[in-house]
Each structure stands twice: as C-alpha cells, then as structure tokens.
Structure 1
C-alpha cells in the first residue's frame, strides 16, 4: 500500500511486529546492563573518540573524505589538508554535535537551527524548509520523489506533533521519525545527516548513553542495508522495515559498547558518576556500595578517603556512623 502525503496524517503508518517487540525487549535489557555498569556517561576520552566516529561515519555516508585522524586533528585545532567543502562539513558537524544537548528534539525551530549550523556556507537556504519540489537521483535513476514543497511545513509540523504526543516507546518513535524525515526530505540538502542526528537527540533525552554511542558507525558499515530498508519502507508505504533495521543497529551498538574494554572504572570515575546521581544529598559507605555492587567494602573506603583528601567530599562522624557529602 502506497500512502499519499497530500493529506496530513495524524500518525505515520507502521506496524509493531513481534520482531520489533523482541528487539525492543533486548535493547531494554542492554540499557539495564549499561546502567548497572555505570557506562551511561563514558569517560571524557571515550566520549571524544565515539563522537569523532559518529561525525566521520555520518559524513562518509554522504561522501565526505576525511578520516577519523583528520577529524581528531581539526577538533584539536590543527591544520588539515583536505577539500574545502569536506573541511567545512566536518567543522559544522563538530559545532552541531557540541551543542546537541541544547536542542529540544520536539521543537521544529530547534531542528531548523541545527540544520542551519550543520549546513552553514554549504547551501544558501541552511535552516529553511524547502518550498520547491525535489527528487533523489542515483546515476540516471530517480530513487525517491519527495512530497511537494508546498506541503513540507505541514508534514513536518505533523511529524513533530506525533513524536511529542504519541504514547509509543521513544525507541520506536525515534526510528519512525528518522524514516519519515528522510521520506519528507524537508531540506534541499543535508537530510541524511540531519535524520541521524535528530534520532540521537530524541533517544538521548531518555537514555544518555546515546549521546556518545556511535550508532552511525554501524550504519556506515551496513550502508547498503540502510538504503535498502529506506527503499523497502517507501514501497510498502510504512516505516516497519526501517524500524526493524534501526533497532537491530541500535542493539548491535549497545552490545559492542558493553563488550568493549571501556567499562573498568577508576576511583575518580566512580566518584564522578556517584556525584551525578547523588548531587548534594548526604550518603554513607553502604549507599556508595549499593550503587557499585562489583567493588569491595575496602575499595569503597579507599574511594571515599581519596575524595575526602582531595576536598571533593566532606565527611562527618566516625566508622559506621560516617556520612559524606559532596563539597
């Protein structure tokens, strides 16, 4: 069934299949492991590495030539020899990903502002929804004829209303958004990288790990399957195949993160993570141990003593009656 977009729909068409439900359940289990191992916000060097992978992968899908090493050099304000357009794409992407936590993923204005940053000096209408008709051509073949430019603003308002109000899980809605965004093709250029960016924005509101999870790396490695899933959804007139594909990619990304060697925490890491959780509340060594179930009481005592010595914590009382509070 091919769905016409001449009429604005309240809810995009898709089915929640048993495969999708199984993928959601598996992802939920992996997210539980992420929280249990306290890797929902990785260390600074890991966050930087994963962000570089995200930027490089998302842009390579669109034909950018810069490597991870070159992007690292740009982030460190070093000179890089490369085509000017490729350099500008990377610089813009670095800027928009640095601001990713500032965007409201349910705001159309914020989405347009993100596009403006991402495509500044690359297109003349950066940050503006298209009003003319466009199609995606590969070679001599028209792969996708986007909806008429005259209804783009209505379609986008409807899509933003769906993700804001619908009761389905954000894991599913973010995939639906990604597909519908690519189908609508709301900007004259930059839609692929924006669709991937905005799915991340949606997911990280509920699951912070997604800010630094390089999902785009697996999309790049499965680029043909990515475009096939988009094409299959186009032919079916619903996003079900694309939802299945993206949930599979998300699950693989979480599995890769969990199987990596990046889950061993130093005392400083544990103290930093506990501060995020506890804030200014007082706590005991037992509370700290309940949060980090894989460490011994002696390790917990060393962590807390080190933090007191470095004036990160203040303590009151002695032995089992000791309570701590972050300075």
Structure 2
C-alpha cells in the first residue's frame, strides 16, 4: 500500500460532477456497444490526437491528421507528421498497458516521442521550468527526485480506493507537477488519464475530451496554476471533471440516432410522448420535469432528438430552433405511436 496520498479537498462541485458524469456514462454506454461503429471510434481517436497535439502547438488540421493516418502525402512539417503517427501508435497500444506500471509508462513515452527527442522512454536528467510566454509558471522538481516521485505516484495509483474519476484527474495533475520527461509531458498526462478512465469504463477509451481541453486551453493552464498555488489538485480536478462532462454531452449528441426510434419506440421516447399527450406544447425544462430527468444533454440525446428525427414531435417555432420560447408538441404520427400503457 502506498504511503503517499496526493493532497485533495473534496468539494460539492466535485461530487456533483461525479454524479452527473456517472449518469452520462450510463446513457452513453446503453447505446455505444451497438451503435459506436469502428468508423466512429476512429473518427473520435483522430479528434483526440489532433486536439492533444494542437495543445502542444502542432498545426495540422483534422483533415490533415486523417490523411497522414491514411498514408497520404501531407504538406506539413516532418516533426508534426511524426507526432501524429506516434500518437496514433501510442493510443492504439493503450489497451495493453497497466496504469500503475512504470515500464508501461516509459514504453508509452517511447512510442509517443519516437524520433522527436533523444531520451524518449527515459525520465529527464535535467531541471525544467514551464513558461507561458516570458513568465515562469512552474519549476518542476529536480531530476534527482523524479524517479522516486513517479514511483510513489504510480504506487498510489495502483492502490488507491478513490473514485476512478477522481483518481484519473489527480494523477493527471500530479504527473504534470512532476514533469518527469524532457518533453511530451502534456500529451502523456492526457493519454494516461484516458488509460485510467478506459479501464474503468471502456466507452471512455474513445472519448475526445482533449478536444474540449483544446477549446478551453487557457482555462486548462489556469487550473494547473491554481492547483500549484493551492498546493493541492482540487482546482484542476474540478476543471477536468467539467471537461469530461462536456465531452460526454457532445458524444451523446453525436451518437447515431437512426436506430433509436423503430416501429416500437424506445422507453425514453415513449415517456416523452406520454408527457406531451393531452396537454399543450411544453418547453425543454418542462418536459425534463415531466420525464424526471435532470441532465439536459442526456435528455436532448436520448429523448428529444430521437423523437424529432422520427417525426413523433415537432417544434412550435421551427424557424428559430434555439429560441428561448421554443416548445414541442406531438405530431399526428406521435399521437398514433403513444403506447397503450406507460413505458
């Protein structure tokens, strides 16, 4: 059992986000096994790689990354093309690694940084400071302490009984604080968090949370700095959990919906139809109350969107789909599809 315990304060925000994410994962897992095709998985993996490398100033677009992985010629810097190939190789090898293994961690870094730095797959041998522009924002521990600190962190990772969502975020922060490698620490931290999460819930292996981080890059670095100043990972854990929730909400919206409403409507859609039966048009928030759901992204993905696609319900103002006054009502097809008893 590791004696090391990373400092963390459990906040109400952290606990609320864990509950929200758990609900989102449940909804996504219910459809992912049957609907998440190899093409969709590959598309999400490409988004993950492009975003994670973009955070590190790689300029290749999703289209260019896709072309590189298809073996096509791409006009780009050789280093950036190599970064893409390495990242894809590393993410594809991920299922074979154990999160608490130092050997696997070093092997992952070797794959990720192959041909990019001399000491890939080895802990750094020099001091390092992290700068934003001209400002030093973090001085990492001296190289003489890196191996010991990483062994402590990996031992904690293997033994901790904290919630996997918290463990993954805390590890990510502590890894960035130690900064164990000469280069590639950011992409390694994000890769290892994905590994931890994927072993808890396989559906998370292809969740492009890096795309959310890329869109909120300043907030990502600000959360790291806030955690440094507080001497505990709490601000970073809150940020990463929120990023995971946003990525899950986006994944729910992008899940294929064509099979979700068939001749026999799903339980979720049936509940929605029953909520609209016999009354006037209702707003999203009113419908959520009727079906007993608290998370808007889940409601839209599993209730509202499938019913709209199937023509079971319609908007009262289709020309302004995002209008605050927007309401939804049954169509004739929807009325005919209402189940004879509650789903």
TM-score range, shorter chain: 0.7 to 0.9
Evaluate the alpha carbon distance shift between residue 183 and residue 41 of structure 1 in structure 2; reply closer, same or farther with a 3 A threshold: farther
Matches within 5 A, 1:66-215: 66-215=60-209
Displacement, 1:41?
A: 7.3
For residues 4-51 of structure 1, what are the alpha-carbon distances to aligned partners after superposition, in whole Å with 9 as ceiling and x for unaligned? xxxx96111011111100000111111111222345872111111111
TM-score, reference length from structure 1:
0.77
> What's 2:28 paired with?
34
TM-score, reference length from structure 2:
0.74
Maintained 8 Å contact 1:96/1:114: yes
- Report runs of 4+ in structure 1 exceeding 6 Å deviation: 292-295
For residues 76-98 of structure 1, what are the alpha-carbon distances to aligned partners after superposition, in whole Å with 9 as ceiling and x for unaligned? 11111111111111111111111
User: CA separation in 2, counterparts of 1:9 and 1:245?
Assistant: 27
Displacement, 1:53?
A: 0.4
Evaluate the alpha carbon distance shift between residue 58 and residue 259 of structure 1 in structure 2; reply closer, same or farther with a 3 A threshold: same
Gap runs ≥5 in structure 1: 1-7, 267-288, 296-327
Evaluate the alpha carbon distance shift between residue 294 and residue 234 of structure 1 in structure 2; reply closer, same or farther with a 3 A threshold: closer
Displacement, 1:142?
A: 1.2
For residues 237-289 of structure 1, what are the alpha-carbon distances to aligned partners after superposition, in whole Å with 9 as ceiling and x for unaligned? 000000000000001111111122424449xxxxxxxxxxxxxxxxxxxxxx9
User: CA separation in 2, counterparts of 1:70 and 1:189?
Assistant: 23
> What's 2:4 paired with?
10
Evaluate the alpha carbon distance shift between residue 63 and residue 38 of structure 1 in structure 2; reply closer, same or farther with a 3 A threshold: closer
Evaluate the alpha carbon distance shift between residue 192 and residue 183 of structure 1 in structure 2; reply closer, same or farther with a 3 A threshold: same
**Number of equivalent positions:** 266
Counterpart secondary structure, 1:14: coil
Alignment pair present for 1:43 and 2:37: yes
> What's 2:248 paired with?
254
- Whose RCO is larger (CA < 8 A, sep 6+)? 1
Range with bigger deviation, 101-110 or 20-29? 101-110
